[in-house]
Structure 1
């Protein structure tokens, strides 16, 4: 069931383009959309816990650095690096591929921090996932050029993305998943507001259409998937969880074709099949005959 939670989280993250595209068409910049995402998520989560279970809002001061890990080092940092990489490279294909180097970082960090084994099945699944991402993002057929700066920002996005699994795993030893998710976005909000530019566009933010889409972005593509992903980490190794979550670009490709009328190519189909194969392979129990 824990693996299913993580896959559902990946699916919900995969439909985020619908909300982001709409908010950007209203007039928000990319970083302002990030700010809207974390601010509305933080507000909703705090209100929910105030009404249902205030005990989950209690944390120890000594654990604040860990919440800074999930909120700033992961959520804010990976978004910043990701958008910088897109701006420098001038396209989303290679940055998206570099973002999904996260399982590599998670797997090796987990080896030293949690003593998780790197099995043959994990390595094969990881390699197939990377190959699938290459097909899905059009790297093999694309003509993008990439600078060292853009490449490093892309890797930074992957590293930041990976840190949520690491810090989340550490926090789960002490707190409920709701507590972790709530304070992750509270810390992220405090960190992102000053440089996002959202303050000068507060009138646009209070527009009815903006409020509705921001609430949808917070509830459907942020709060629910993060809670499910964090719950999944209770019984799933961080390395495995990170690979399972790569169902996200698979879903994003489907959304692109069905909602935004993007062309479906043989390359995209191959990429989807490879990622799906990696997820299935990761969940098959291969038993040795006695």
Structure 2
């Protein structure tokens, strides 16, 4: 795989993540609850990922029982709560607003990395945090007129999705020290499925599963917006830097906004779109900071 193909894989993966709101919204219209949708995504994604890894390299399915703690973190504490917050935010606000509030995750990663790993809080990172805060203020309607465009509950759900998604990077950092990224992804969704299913009431939705549209959305949610993009993103990361991949992935909220606009006719004002641009800019600032830090580390190692 060459560099251009890797870039394409990352872009396609981000775009597929961006259309997740369409499947979620259609499942809500059919009658599913947010918890049931989280369970359906976790179960279907786990199934597709296990089948993929089993045919690709079944050795990747082997883990130590003592390492289950990593996947409790990535699967239960992160993915379950991240998905519930995101899907609930979509229901409470809109696909566009929920998607951009999810992209506060890099700001939370910066804060957690400072607290847990003592990573330097540089001027560039601080500026990214400020830009994220101001951008979110425009998106939710606090700025420029102080008239809130969305409910406080919707805002908290959106920030919650960013918070718990950020925790995936923190827990995943420990898991990836011992396991392949595909192994981490598979067990993340397996643990998420086992944790959320008993509390989701998904079995009560039996009559809804007789709807062919529901199965199209479930397959779309589990395969096209979860398993496939994770596989493509992982393949792309094998050829390009993670910081570059993260910057390309910022097309996700753009795609999500287009889905909301073109399919569900969601309307945002000019200030909200300005806020979306600011949040995406903050992500780019943070990732460029990481890229420069990595280069400086590499230069110092070569000179020593």
Normalising by structure 2, we get a TM-score of 0.75
Deviations 1:59-89 (A, max 9, x none): 11111010110100001123345567788xx
Deviation at 1:135, TM superposition (A): 2.1
Deviations 1:231-260 (A, max 9, x none): 7599547xx988876654343222222222
Report what 2:288 is aligned to.
283
Instruction: Please say which of residues 189-198 and 135-144 is displaced more in the overlay.
Output: 135-144
Q: Which has the higher helix share?
A: 2
Deviation at 1:40, TM superposition (A): 0.2
Report what 1:25 is aligned to.
29
C-alpha change, 1:81 and 1:270, in structure 2 (3 Å) is closer
Report what 1:110 is aligned to.
113
C-alpha change, 1:165 and 1:122, in structure 2 (3 Å) is same
Instruction: Give 2:141's match in structure 1, choosing from 138, 143, 165.
Output: 138
SS in 2 for 1:116: coil
On the 8 A contact 1:37/1:214 being kept in 2, the answer is yes
C-alpha change, 1:117 and 1:172, in structure 2 (3 Å) is same
On the 8 A contact 2:100/2:276 being kept in 1, the answer is no
Deviation at 1:9, TM superposition (A): 4.6
C-alpha change, 1:220 and 1:30, in structure 2 (3 Å) is same
Deviation at 1:31, TM superposition (A): 1.5
Report what 1:270 is aligned to.
274
Report what 2:124 is aligned to.
121
Stretches of structure 1 that go unaligned for 5 or more consecutive residues are none
CA distance in 2 between partners of 1:214 and 1:33 (Å): 8
Q: Count residues with an aligned counterpart.
A: 282
Q: Does 1:251 align with 2:252?
A: no
C-alpha change, 1:276 and 1:91, in structure 2 (3 Å) is closer
Instruction: Please say which of residues 126-135 and 60-69 is displaced more in the overlay.
Output: 126-135
SS in 2 for 1:261: coil
Instruction: Please say which of residues 271-280 and 46-55 is displaced more in the overlay.
Output: 271-280
CA distance in 1 between partners of 2:120 and 2:8 (Å): 22
On the 8 A contact 1:111/1:118 being kept in 2, the answer is yes
CA distance in 2 between partners of 1:94 and 1:39 (Å): 26
Q: Does 1:195 align with 2:199?
A: yes
Stretches of structure 2 that go unaligned for 5 or more consecutive residues are 297-304
Instruction: Give 2:67's match in structure 1, choosing from 53, 63, 88.
Output: 63
CA distance in 1 between partners of 2:93 and 2:277 (Å): 24
